[in-house]
Structures are given as C-alpha cells and as structure tokens.
Amino acid sequence: MSVRTRFAPSPTGYLHIGGARTALFNWLYARKHGGSFILRIEDTDRERSTRESVNAILEGMAWLGLDYDEGPHFQSERFERYREVIHRLLEEGKAYYCYCTREELEAMRAEQMARKQKPRYDGRCRDRREPRPGVEPVVRFKNPLEGEVVVDDLVRGRVVFRNEELDDLIIARSDGTPTYNLTVVVDDLDMGVTHVIRGDDHLNNTPRQINILRALGAEPPRYAHVPMILGEDGSRLSKRHGAVSVLEYRDQGYLPEALLNYLVRLGWAYGDKEIFSIDEMIELFDIRDVNKSASTFNPAKLLWLNHHYIMHSDPLHVAHHLRWHLGRLGIDPAEGGPDPVDVVLAQRERCKTLREMAQGSAFFYRDFEHYDEKAVKHLKPQALEALKRLYQRLRDLEDWEPEPLHRVVVETAEELGLKLGKVAQPLRVALAGCAVSPPIDVTLHLLGKEKSLARVRRAIAYIEKKADQD
C-alpha cells in the first residue's frame, strides 16, 4: 500500500513554525516513499475559523514549496458524511445522547478536581432512554470500559493507555456539528491516510481515536508524534516569543530553504551534517530518527542558516527573492540601476537577511534623503580635498570597472599621503549615505559613473555649506 500523509491545520491563525515543521515532516515522508501528501483544513469550529487564515496557510505552504497532491479538503464541506457516521454509531449503540448541561459538567469537573482525580465524564447518560425536555443533547462515543489501547508510535515507541483513563468524548455538539476527534478519524479513514504525523500534543487523543476507528470497523494508521517546539523560556512556542508565522519570516527576509533547513534539524539530525538541500532531506530524512524530546526554537541559528543560503545559493535565485524585497521598498530594478544579481554578488557576505540587503542596496536605485547620522562624521572639511581630487579623477576615468576604480582610490590616497581608509570612507558615505557598503570600487561600479559623480558633488557641497555655517 502506498504511503499517504496529510497536514491538517485548523484555520484559526497563521501557519506557524510548529505547523510548518509538521507539514514538512509529512511532506518529506510522502516524497521519500513516493506517496501522496494531502492538505486538509480542519474548520469544524466555525466560530474561530476564518478565510484569511486559510489563505495565510495556503500562502505559507506555497512559499515554502510544500506542494500537496490532494486538497485542500475542507471539513466544513463534509458535514453530511460526519452526520452519517454519527448516526451509524448511534444506531449500533456505540454512541449515545447526553443531556447533561454545561453547568452540570462543570460542577462534575470541579468536584473531581477537588477530590484530586482526573476530570472525566462519568457516563451518567450512557443508559439513559428518555430525552430531557429543554435540553438539546450532544452525542458521546461509548468508549470501552476495560482493557487497554496500545499506540505503536513511530517516534515514541509503544505507549499504553488504559481505557479506564479515557471517558466518553463528545463527537457531536448540541447543534449537531461534529467535533475534532470524530472528524479526524473519519477523514483519515476516508482519505486513506496511512501515516499520521502530528504534534506531540495529540498523543493523548490517539487512544480515543483508535477506539472510534475500531468501532467503525477500521484498522488504525501508523502514528508518529513529533516533539513540540518550545520558546526560549521553555514554554510552548507562541506569539510572545517573537515571530512565529511563516509569512513573517518571508517578510523579514528569510529564504524558504533556510527556514526548511532549520526546521528539519529541529528534532532530527543526520550525523554532523548541518546543510541539507531539499533533495538531501528527502533522501536522508526518516521519521523513525526523530527525537523524542522537545526542542527550543533558536532564532540565531536560523539567522545563520539564512545567511549561509544567501551566500551559497545560486545568485540568480537569491536575486529573485531580492527583487521581491526591493519591490516592497517601492523599487523596481527594471526601471534602472544595477542588475539585482550583481547586487547579490556584491552584498551577500554582509547581509543576513534579504530585507537587510534590500535596505542596504536601495541607494543604488534611488537617492537617499539624508546622510546616516553615524556616518556623517566622515564628511568633514578634512575630507574635502580628497573628495575633490577623487571627483576629478573619476570624471576623467573612461573605463568604469572595479580595477581602474580601485586604482583611482589608491592613487588619490597616495598622492595625499593618507591611509586608504581616510579616502575610501568619505567617498563611501558620499555614495551610499551610510558607512556600510560593498567594497568601494564595487560600489562605484554598480552605482555607475553619472550617479557616482553627482553624489560626490553633493557631498562636496554638503561639506562646504556646513563649513560656512560654522
């Protein structure tokens, strides 16, 4: 039987880091085994599910390149099917109507907690025949009273639950809509899912789901519960730990392959290998090798990986993403200025994110408004002579290439008896408006003769005006 995995998020927020890793593991497992990867949107909670969330999840998946072979299936479109299954369970005496009110249930829980017991439904409506006037009943699944359920988990190993620990969970709300534990079971069954790879937080649900599956006469799929991702304070990763949405990382200038590489190494390793291409992941990843313990999200390492990918990926590919970030700054390289590929080549060592690169490269495409306050100190009267001589030499230079440009700067420094930095820094600030840019010859080259000369003139004028004022 061929492998079928699925990713089943509920659209109540954005696609977050943890979900993305679960999706990745499912995707990798399917790809590795030549199986299918299914996307299913679990939107049975109509109160909290939103269309925007669905879009954000789809967009995040697309950006990461996690393509699915089937779906997205929406649970909200399958209510008829769930109703049918619930009806069948009711008919067969494997489920029953429960007329307890929320208040009663709450009181029961409080009492059990007070007695230091695990709060669970006591089954008081199990054998009830008569409806209770004024109460719309829920439907509960009749969980076996005795025996145990064994979950033979691909990452956890053998985990045993006693049925006495479980209670009769609600499978249909009083408005008739199905609940999570019922819908997953039905869908995984209907969709032929062979491997359920999901977060650790579902491990406790698994025996209940297996029981429902058995009541339906089906055999459970293989399960793999992957450990959670924690924030830096050791609690479950959430918004307060900073960026958790996949699209937020895109916006901050991360490459999808960097995020994927970071995610795959969270809870999994292949010896000392740190860098994995997508193909290598597919080849080497095995769900059986995933760790059992939770791991802490480490933004610094992700940043390092991002920088690694910016430096070592095909510049053409990086440039593609850089264009997007330039676009966000209102810059269209097609309208003039250097080729983004050359910008990538010139900038990649010093930019850990593409957003940084776009910001640090904007000066190639448009004039900056002000000199950076930390850099402006280089534009002082002592630099005037150097800038003037540079201007003349640059103006007379025909061959606007890095080599001759480099010579111009070196010769100017020698002529004035200055260290190279004393000449290059003022020039850099004149050209870029700030103290950081690619090597000065490359910067001149990429900016072009016309713009370079104009900016040197601007800097000279700036210094002279400042001198007059003082």
Beta pairing class for 95-98 and 138-141: antiparallel
Non-local (6+) Cβ contacts of 347 within 8 A are 357, 360, 361, 438
Nearest to 452 by CA among 437, 464, 465, 466: 437
Q: In the Cβ-directed half-sphere of 260, how many Cα atoms lie within 13 Å?
A: 25
- Beta strands 170-172 and 4-7 are unpaired
Residues 91, 93, 116, 127: which binds RNA (CB under 7 A)? 116
The single residue among 251, 274, 280, 385 that binds RNA, judged by CB under 7 A, is: 274
Please select the residue that binds RNA; options are 205, 284, 397, 411, rule is CB under 7 A. 205
376, 452 contact by CB (below 8 A):
no
300 makes contact with RNA (CB under 7 A): yes
Query: For residues 411-430, which are near RNA according to CB under 7 A?
Result: 419-421, 424-425, 428
What x/- string results for residues 367 through 396 when contact with RNA is judged by CB under 7 A? Answer: ------------------------------
Q: Does 404 bind RNA (CB under 7 A)?
A: no
| Residue 272 interacts with RNA (CB under 7 A): yes or no | yes
Of 407 and 465, which has the nearer Cβ to RNA? 407
Residue ranges in 117-176 that form contacts with RNA under rule CB under 7 A: 117-121, 136, 138, 156-157, 159-161, 165, 170, 173-175
Phi, psi of 270 (to 5 degrees): -130, 90
What does the alpha-carbon distance between residue 170 and residue 183 come to, in Å, rounded to a whole number? 12
Q: Which stretch binds RNA (CB under 7 A): 78-86, 245-253, 277-285, 289-297?
A: 289-297
Task: State in angstroms the smallest separation of the CB of 420 from RNA.
Answer: 4
CB 416 within 8 A of CB 442: no
d(CA 461, CA 384): 9
Of the pair 29, 121, the CB lying nearest RNA is at 121
Residue 298 makes contact with RNA by CB under 7 A: yes
**148-153 β-sheet, strand order:** 70-74, 36-41, 4-7, 195-199, 222-226, 148-153, 157-162
Binding-site size for RNA (CB under 7 A) equals 86
The reply on whether position 69 binds RNA by CB under 7 A is: no
Tell me if 307 contacts RNA by CB under 7 A. yes
Minimum CB distance to RNA, residue 412 (Å): 12
Decide if residue 234 touches RNA (CB under 7 A): yes
Residue 21 interacting with RNA (CB under 7 A)? no
User: Is residue 296 within the footprint of RNA (CB under 7 A)?
Assistant: yes
Instruction: Describe the crossing of helices 79-91 and 180-190 by its angle, rounded to 10 degrees.
Output: 100
3-state secondary structure of 95: strand
Find the binding residues for RNA in span 335-364 (CB under 7 A). 349-350
* Alpha helices (H) along 216-255: 246-251
Question: How far apart are the C-alpha atoms of 251 and 248, rounded to whole Å?
Answer: 5
Residue whose CB is less far from RNA, 13 or 192 = 13
Among 22, 26, 36, 179, binds RNA (CB under 7 A): 179
Q: Which residues pair with 140 in a beta bridge?
A: 96, 170
452 touches RNA (CB under 7 A)? no
Torsion angle of the four alpha carbons 409, 412, 418, 424, in this order, in degrees rounded to the nearest 10 = -30
Asked if 243 is part of the footprint of RNA (rule: CB under 7 A), the reply reads no
Q: Strands of 138-141's sheet, edge to edge? A: 95-98, 138-141, 170-172
CB 268 within 8 A of CB 254: no
Residue from the set 17, 212, 266, 408 that interacts with RNA by CB under 7 A: 266
Query: In the set 180, 223, 285, 371, which binds RNA (CB under 7 A)?
Result: 180
Please select the residue that binds RNA; options are 3, 228, 247, 453, rule is CB under 7 A: 228
User: Minimum distance between the CB of residue 238 and RNA, rounded to whole angstroms?
Assistant: 9
Strand partners, 41: 74
Q: Which two tokens stand for residue 86?
A: 């619930």
Angstrom distance (rounded) from CA 223 to CA 112: 31
271 binds RNA (CB under 7 A): yes
- Among the listed residues 436, 465, 466, 467, the single contact to RNA using CB under 7 A: 436
Closer residue to RNA (CB): 190 or 289: 289
Q: What are the Cα distances from residue 270, in Å, to 74, 264, 273? A: 36, 10, 6
Q: Does residue 224 interact with RNA by CB under 7 A?
A: no
Catalytic residues: 239
Q: Which stretch binds RNA (CB under 7 A): 57-65, 88-96, 97-105, 383-391?
A: 97-105
